[in-house]
Amino acid sequence: MAAAAFYDLEGTLVSTNLVHTLGFYARNEPGLFRSFKKSAATLLSLPVFAVTDQYSRKVFNDLYFKRYKGVSEDRLRFLADDLFLSVLKPAVFPGAYELLEKSRSLGLRQVVVTGALDVSVKPLMEHLAT
């Protein structure tokens, strides 16, 4: 079994969090009314997300992932590159690249832990792997 370096994506490698991703998807709902409605609901949910995250990660996850109900995986995949370019890539901490390179040079397997949808962070993971 090879040694590994473990990284929490949000807060260690990027200065963003799950709610930023949710907000991006809300803003990119098809149609102005749907986009406004979903964005407003996300904004109004911020205090609830904050409280539930402190109370129980399970409760937070249940509330958070319900926000994706009705959104097709194809839609999430379609927007993933835009999410990467406009939200995630600019949020990469400058030292993250050096940190990852150092652990790679030591022969460590890179393991990134996140609560985000895999489809949402796939372009970022590919970027950080290079």
Contacts of 50 (CB under 8 A, 6+ apart): none
Half-sphere exposure of 122 (CA within 13 A, CB side): 10
Residue length, the chain?
Answer: 130
Q: What is the pLDDT of residues 88-116, one digit of tens each?
A: 999 999 999 999 999 999 999 999 999 89
For residues 57-80, average pLDDT: 92
Q: How confident is the model at residue 1 (pLDDT cuts 50, 70, 90)?
A: low
pTM for this predicted structure: 0.87
Candidates 15, 39, 11, 12; CA nearest to 25 is 39
